Structure 1
Amino acid sequence: MKNKLLLLALFLGFHCISQELYKDTLLKQDFDILTKITCEVSPNINSEEKKALYDYLNKRSEALNGKKMTALDFFKFLMGTKAETKLDDHGEIILSGALLKTLLTDQKTLFPIPILIMNKKLVVNYEEAEIPFGSIISAINKVPVSVILENVLKEENTYALKELEQNFDGFYLIKYGALKTFTVTYTLPNSSTTKTIKLNAVGVKARKSIYINRVYPLNRKQPKNIVNTTYFKNSDLYYIQLNSFFWNEPVKNVYRAFNKQFSNIFKKIRKRKAKHLIIDLRNNRGGDILIPALFYSYIAKEAFNENISVQIPDFEFPHKDLIVKIENTPVDQESIQKFINQIKKPFVKNKDAYEYAYVNNVKRVKNKKSYKGKVYLLVGGRTFSAAAYYTALFKNSKRGLIVGEQVGGSHHEITGGKIIEYTLPNTKIGIKIPIALMKFSQALETNVPEQKINPTIQITEAAKYQYFLKKEDWDLQTVLEIINQKK
């Protein structure tokens, strides 16, 4: 499958991008560095695939001959670069940091309306806009929304759609340039009436105020916590929203910290004697790969085996002098080498890569006080990495209904482990790239063969839209309706 060179991430906080023009020698230097980093660090390509990737990217580099570009133009050039990297969305190319120089205080060039993407439709997600909340946008500046999405989304998957939803105005700016006004064609909610309106662009300060007051996602403060819980008395239902498998503060032992947290939660569930349990992983982008099995043991009905293998092509990372962060922590050359020496210890060289059996067919026992009631798992486009693996464990054992949309990540092969971040020397564009390939048991791949898990219950577009207009959580409401119907 062809995919982007890396996932493209844009952080709107949002500064004006330098308009300095870089000549072709500097652009080619940055591109050649990116090529080497991608080809040498990508953990999921064999020698033949690496050669093909080098050939493609070296050929692509020739398109820069005689060109002068700003950093933004170069970023757009990278957006148009496709290659068989076999990376998942742990890899990113970033416009941030040193590249974002001068605040856009007096430059109004951003699309002024937050949107929610619903099955590739742009829905107005703001009540104070000049277009009514819930209206469906069909065109911007006479370009159909389907064409816009095709231009800014080089891949069609739920994860990419969710990421675009957060930064639609920024990606639109990159693709279509700085505009002062937008002519928007839209259809009113639950109506066939189509209207057109001209909207003025907004600056960064206005944008920030607008996005704080979006309607969706509901309860936006909750995802800032690792875990949130609620008891629904009328449905005899306990709700656990687990937003990460990372611990959010320094601890001696992350596994024990999570285990203590889970133990306390399930103690409360037993005290309530709740007949139903919802586990919400819709905002969970992963974390420590040992935690999913631990969490699953609290609802498991029987013991299960776990295998996790890790593969890294090489520990001689290219251009180490350009590495600025490891796992989002700033580093210097000394700490980079210390990191390499530390993680290399358990690995054994096997042909073209280093390998390590991280979890070698370990029997995971169910928790002694494992929850035995009915369980519903909520997933979506941001259910990624370790959270996708948890979803596979859940589906493999047929533990309950899976509700929502296709998960954003695959459980078959995860290019993750540790993430290293580079900054290109000239344009200052950032590159985040995973160094490891993680695989799980063959039985899990066989029993859950789809690359990305689809829900058991997928809410229709029409039903989602009506919940949206009522400002309700459609996945949660669907489960509540199922439970109440059975009662």
Structure 2
Amino acid sequence: MKLKLALIAALFVQVAFAQKNCNVLYSQKFTKQQLEEDIDFIRTKITNAHVNPYTEISKSEFEKKYTDIRNSLKDGMTQKDFYYLAKPLIVTLNDEHSSMSDFCVTDSIRKNMKVLPLKFKYENGKMLLTENYSDRKLTIGDEVLSLNNIPIDQVLENCAQTIPGTIEERIPIAVDKFWIVINKYCYFITDDYNLKFKSGLQTVVKSISLEQLKANASKSQPKKKEDFKPIDYKKIKDYAYVTVNTFDDRNTFTLEEWKTKFDSIFSQIKKDNAQKLVIDVRNNSGGNSAVGSLLINYFSDKTYHTYQGKFKKSKEYADYLKANNKESAEYNKIKDGDYYPISSRSVTADHNPLRFNGKTYVIVGKNTFSSAMMFSVMVLDNKLAEVAGEIPEKGHPNHFGELIKFQTPNTKLDFLFGVKEWIRPAGNLQPNKLIPAKIISVKDKTSEQIVEEL
């Protein structure tokens, strides 16, 4: 079974997101006054700039949580101590885009870090084994019942409290990242893991180094992973199959370069005389929603309605816009704390000689996220094409977005969250999920297999 990229890359993502000079910060001790300044800073930025910080807990509950944290601060605490106290303020935002950067560790600790050499998935309320890189003989698919004699449900509930995002997704995320969560963010087990499975097996799995984990994983999957392709096209039978793996317009292509790419591909589609079109965004984690809107114009001539929502006015975000040459006079007129409404627009298709006019499918999957989800939802709600595939594991059609980032002045912890709230064209539908019109299995399927399914 393939080792997901997250398994060997998550730690390095955290390191990349971490602060500089960690060797110094790890052991630095802060005064109570410094820590109070930092927790006050976090509270102020959330209440000033987050579009709606009280969706999971009420304003009074939020204030109580902040007060309890502030009262827990003491002289001599480290950045790590403060991190675990402060993070719940970020977690309870119920914002799938929110996060707080990792606390610092020294080079020595990072080099000698040990992890649980197992991978799990959360399915129908059960924690199931999916990958085994230990020296123990375990059965893939076996359900975990307990860890070190603690019921696994209790373990997951506690670990989920350290996971930012929407409340219903925290346990699945904790399970997916259990190999690193269990030793670094909750319970802090770094040696032996006494696991009891539903099959009746009870065994001790020993932790291993991250380097050993990577070595064990590479032995079981010698096949080299293909290079990431932002966009790809091939003809399969009478289908034009276009895979779009990102909508990024910063590090991949500019918006103008995306247009050039689309022009080239849809010119080839015309030459190939394809009768049907597939747009595959099952592994697209998003980027700029403008890329998705641009793509729509290549397969639909229908007038459609966009997302609606609201935009929190704050001095913080006004300053951010000004610093990035995006200042808006209309936004600046609004009183701090009030909301700038985002009205749903009616978009009329431009003339596009390269537009495909046949049957079109948009394929979504468990990894469709953020602006790729917004693209798929607009297609679905406006009936611009047939949306097929699987319900995404993370993210919601109605969500927070447009991130703003801050850093605590003393402990140097980065945190970010959304200043906009987005509502899908069809409104506040429940459940708040992207549910394809046609459910088909797409996980690990080739494009040829998906065409057969269609």
Q: TM-score range by the shorter chain?
A: 0.7 to 0.9
What's the % identity of the aligned pairs? Answer: 17
The SS at the match of 2:201 is: strand
Aligned residue number for residue 258 of structure 2: 258
Please give the residue correspondences for 1:68-467 in structure 2 after superposition, counting only pairs within 5 Å. 69-81=77-89, 85=93, 88-95=95-102, 99-104=104-109, 107-119=112-124, 120-126=126-132, 130-132=136-138, 134-138=140-144, 139-154=146-161, 160=170, 163-164=173-174, 167-173=177-183, 174-186=185-197, 193-210=199-216, 221=226, 224-233=228-237, 236-249=238-251, 254-300=254-300, 302-306=302-306, 311-316=311-316, 338-339=322-323, 342-347=326-331, 349-350=333-334, 352-353=337-338, 355=340, 360-365=345-350, 367-368=352-353, 369-380=355-366, 382-398=367-383, 399-406=385-392, 408-412=394-398, 414-417=399-402, 419-434=403-418, 436-439=419-422, 443-445=425-427, 450-458=431-439
Aligned residue number for residue 69 of structure 2: 61
* 1:172-205 CA-partner distances (Å, limit 9, x unpaired): 1120114212223346xxxxx4423322212232
The SS at the match of 2:315 is: coil
8 Å Cα contact 1:19-1:70 kept in structure 2: yes
8 Å Cα contact 1:140-1:185 kept in structure 2: yes
After the TM superposition, list the runs of 4 or more consecutive aligned residues in structure 1 that deviate by more than 6 angstroms.
Answer: 14-17, 155-158, 213-216, 475-478
8 Å Cα contact 2:307-2:378 kept in structure 1: no
Q: Tell me how far apart the structure 2 counterparts of residues 146 and 271 of structure 1 sit (CA, whole Å).
A: 56
Classify 1:411/1:42 alpha carbon distance in 2 versus 1 (closer, same or farther; 3 Å): same
Classify 1:366/1:100 alpha carbon distance in 2 versus 1 (closer, same or farther; 3 Å): farther
Give the Å deviation of 1:339. 1.5
8 Å Cα contact 2:51-2:421 kept in structure 1: no
Q: Tell me how far apart the structure 2 counterparts of residues 295 and 219 of structure 1 sit (CA, whole Å).
A: 31
The SS at the match of 2:289 is: coil
Structure 1 range deviating more: 177-186 or 242-251? 242-251
Q: Tell me how far apart the structure 2 counterparts of residues 159 and 367 of structure 1 sit (CA, whole Å).
A: 40
8 Å Cα contact 1:181-1:200 kept in structure 2: yes
Q: Tell me how far apart the structure 2 counterparts of residues 163 and 122 of structure 1 sit (CA, whole Å).
A: 13
Q: Tell me how far apart the structure 1 counterparts of residues 166 and 345 of structure 2 sit (CA, whole Å).
A: 35
8 Å Cα contact 2:313-2:338 kept in structure 1: yes
Q: Tell me how far apart the structure 2 counterparts of residues 285 and 118 of structure 1 sit (CA, whole Å).
A: 22
Flag the structure with higher strand content. 1
Q: Tell me how far apart the structure 1 counterparts of residues 136 and 242 of structure 2 sit (CA, whole Å).
A: 37
Q: Tell me how far apart the structure 1 counterparts of residues 239 and 129 of structure 2 sit (CA, whole Å).
A: 31
Alignment-mate amino acid for residue 380 of structure 2 = K
Q: Tell me how far apart the structure 2 counterparts of residues 272 and 83 of structure 1 sit (CA, whole Å).
A: 50
1:34 equivalent among 26, 34, 42: 42
Give the total of aligned pairs: 426
* 1:239-259 CA-partner distances (Å, limit 9, x unpaired): 3332221125476xx332222
Instruction: Note the aligned Cα RMSD (angstroms).
Output: 4.1
In structure 1, stretches of 5+ residues that fail to align are 1-9, 188-192, 321-335
In structure 2, stretches of 5+ residues that fail to align are 1-8, 16-21
Classify 1:286/1:204 alpha carbon distance in 2 versus 1 (closer, same or farther; 3 Å): same
The SS at the match of 1:420 is: strand
Structure 1 range deviating more: 473-482 or 278-287? 473-482
Classify 1:180/1:305 alpha carbon distance in 2 versus 1 (closer, same or farther; 3 Å): closer
Alignment-mate amino acid for residue 455 of structure 1 = P
Give the Å deviation of 1:475. 9.1
The SS at the match of 1:290 is: helix
* 1:136-169 CA-partner distances (Å, limit 9, x unpaired): 3413323344333322224677865675466322
The SS at the match of 2:232 is: strand
Give the Å deviation of 1:117. 4.0
The SS at the match of 1:387 is: helix
Give the Å deviation of 1:388. 1.9
* 1:238-290 CA-partner distances (Å, limit 9, x unpaired): 43332221125476xx3322222122223333444444444332332322222
Q: Tell me how far apart the structure 1 counterparts of residues 271 and 90 of structure 2 sit (CA, whole Å).
A: 54
8 Å Cα contact 2:239-2:275 kept in structure 1: yes
Give the Å deviation of 1:22. 4.8
8 Å Cα contact 1:411-1:451 kept in structure 2: yes
Give the Å deviation of 1:346. 4.8
8 Å Cα contact 2:374-2:397 kept in structure 1: yes
